Structure 1
Amino acid sequence: MYKLTSGLRRSLSSALIGRRNQHQKATQTIGEEFQEINIPVPWGHIAGKWWGQKDIQPVVGLHGWENNAGTFDNLAPLLTIRSFLAFDWPGHGLSSHIPLGRPYYFMDSVLVLRQISKYFKWDKISIIGHSYGSCVGFVYAAVFPDSVENYVSIDCARTLMASEIEQEGMQLRLASDMLLNFEDKLVNSNPPCYDYDHMVDLLHIGSLKSVTKDSSKILLRRGMRKTVGDTECYHFSRDLRLQCHAVGRFPNEFLLKMAPRIHCNHLSIRGLQGLIIGKKEDEYFRTLNLIQKSSNKVEHHDIEGTHHVHLNNAERVAPIINSFLHSLYPPEC
């Protein structure tokens, strides 16, 4: 088993909250009520779900690749914070797709997070990211170290987004041809449609059963649309071009250079049946140890669960986050 340097702990408790003057510790969970919002961007809008108070800055939730803001539907109501905003990345959920003629680059997501921060005039943000969303949080916290106060990562897939230099040429070649093929389908044919139960099965099996069937139904609330003219047929709302995820990856050397630039409080949560295993485990903890050297507070926790443990088993993850929140900020007077 890979060894962490002194100060990092593996257990079952911890997490995040925003700036103290905006996110003092709540005495109750945030609850289930939320408001749908749209944030204008040059190509359309970014859709989001906002739980809790709208008059204070929220903690920001960043979902995984080909998922949507619904990934936090079970977790958000259990958090003892006052405000939480999860949004759909471009091409995901209810957000606008980017125009044809270009792929979805990783750095575009970093820019979108920056755009949203500027739109709301937030100087610093606190992040809860899952998988790809946690990758974005990792890079954002490194590129803008003075703009992130707390960064919580749930089964972060950053080592999976890293590319091998010697394979990069072939990956770009395959991704380029795939992109052109998908764009041809988007222009010349309708998306494939299925009945509801088949949609649930496709999402469940497509995640390698990491997402349970019940959780699949949650993601489909904003992850599917009814096909026009057919009352019993649905298609995925996400952009078909998202399958070209090989475009814009970074070499592992980049990740190692970015890690020491992260200065915010950081909580790492890993599902033991998730994606951070084998060689990826060693690479992941190598970056985590580098973050520890530059950050005030870094903790790591292992829990039982799949890559989507926060969605399938939110009751295991929420106490970790709330406990960490309380460790950062004392109770209100």
Structure 2
Amino acid sequence: MNYSFEEVRLSLPHIELSAHVFGPEDGKPVIALHGWLDNAMSFARLAPKLNGLRIIALDFAGHGHSDHRPAGAHYQLWDYAYDVLLVAEQFGWQRFSLLGHSMGAIVSVLLAGAMPERIERLALIDGLIPFTGEAEAAPAKLGSALREQLALAGKRKPVYEKVEQAVKARMKGVGGVSLEAAQLLAQRGLMPVPGGYTWRTDSRLTLPSPLRFTQAHTEVFVRSVACPACLVVAEGGMLHAQPQVVSSLEGTPIKVERLAGGHHLHLDDEAGAQAVADCFNRFFAAP
């Protein structure tokens, strides 16, 4: 499986990120954001099928070939949003669109709601809002997160003797993926270590969130999105099991498209990638 892209390294003031670049230099500016524990290869099938776009597919901090955050720093959604803004600044993009999958879609909605003057369009794949939590659960949630943080130093990443073993493990991971999708993610996500291979991702990414938005918070962010937006809901994905989330979009500019496939439908196979591309090509071509 060979996919054509340009590899770039982006030096932000506080961290270096890696990215894949697709499309013509004069294309509409788009920053593509992958899901939790994935990497830029998430868009390897989809990005080449999107017409007239200049796509910067990031490895989020702590993922893929991007740097890990320094000791004492964390991976909160708003930290990713800040990184995205700095990437846009590097390319001189005052207005740009976002293409987000899963966690990347969530970051996209938060950024579009917080800074509507910067975001042109939102193309979202099976992701919309973060898991929520109400105020009464906050002390216990923070306590659990702090205990997990203290215990992290004693934990070690799994080591796989062969790449194929890691690929099989990824197929069964969060938002289970096809064999080819797992191979693509592993291609960028693994690194050699004594005894075999392990994942490049920062172990801190597996820590639970210390604090969650309330339902009211997320509703306000969604309703603050002012730009045209298209959300692809996978019939076998995560949002399909949360109909109340999708139904909350009534009265917002977010248009919903339902497609067959799993949570990674844009990566699992060529047919799924083409179906998503057909939706988004219509969306980006619309006035």
Q: Could you state the TM-score of these two structures normalised by the residue count of structure 1?
A: 0.79
Residue of structure 2 in register with 1:123 after alignment: 94
Matched, 1:261 2:220: no
Tell me how far 1:200 sits from its aligned partner: 0.6
Distance 1:164 1:50 in 2: 40
**How far did residue 276 of structure 1 move?**
1.2
Contact 2:148 2:208 (C-alpha < 8 Å) held by counterparts = no
- Aligned partner of 1:202 in structure 2 is 169
Structure 1 position 119, deviation (Å): 2.1
Question: Which shows bigger deviation, 38-47 or 193-202?
Answer: 38-47
Supply the distance in 1 between the matched residues of 2:102 and 2:158 (Cα, whole angstroms): 27
Amino acid in the other structure paired with 1:267? C
Residue correspondences, number: 282
Give the equivalent residue in structure 1 for 2:252. Answer: 291
Deviation at 1:84, TM superposition (A): 1.2
Q: Using a 3 Å threshold, how does the CA distance of structure 1 residues 259 and 207 change in structure 2: closer, same or farther?
A: closer
Tell me how far 1:56 sits from its aligned partner.
5.2
Q: 1:104–1:247: 8 Å Cα contact kept in structure 2?
A: no
| Residues 164 and 251, structure 1, Cα contact 8 Å, conserved in 2 | yes
Deviations 1:75-122 (A, max 9, x none): 011111242110011101110000122331121011111111222221
Length-normalised TM-score, structure 2: 0.91
Find out whether 1:175 has 2:145 as its counterpart: yes
Q: 1:247 to 1:121 in 2, by over 3 A?
A: farther
Code of the aligned partner of 2:131 = M
Alignment partners' CA distance in 1, 2:135 and 2:70: 29
RMSD: 1.9
The structural deviation recorded for 1:175 is: 1.6
Contact 2:65–2:200 (8 Å) recurs in 1: yes
Write the distance in 2 (CA, Å) between the matches of 1:246 and 1:129.
20
Partner residue, 1:306: 262
User: Aligned partners of 1:124, 1:130: CA distance in 2, in Å?
Assistant: 20
Gaps of 5+ in 1: 1-30, 293-297, 329-333
Match of 1:223 among 189, 195, 211: 189
Q: Percent identity?
A: 27
**CA distance in structure 2 between the aligned counterparts of 1:248 and 1:51, rounded to whole angstroms:** 36
Measure the CA separation in 2 of the matches of 1:255 and 1:180.
29
* Residues 82/255 of structure 1: CA separation in 2 closer, same or farther (3 Å cut): closer
- SS of aligned partner of 1:277: helix
Contact 1:259 1:290 in 2 (8 A): no
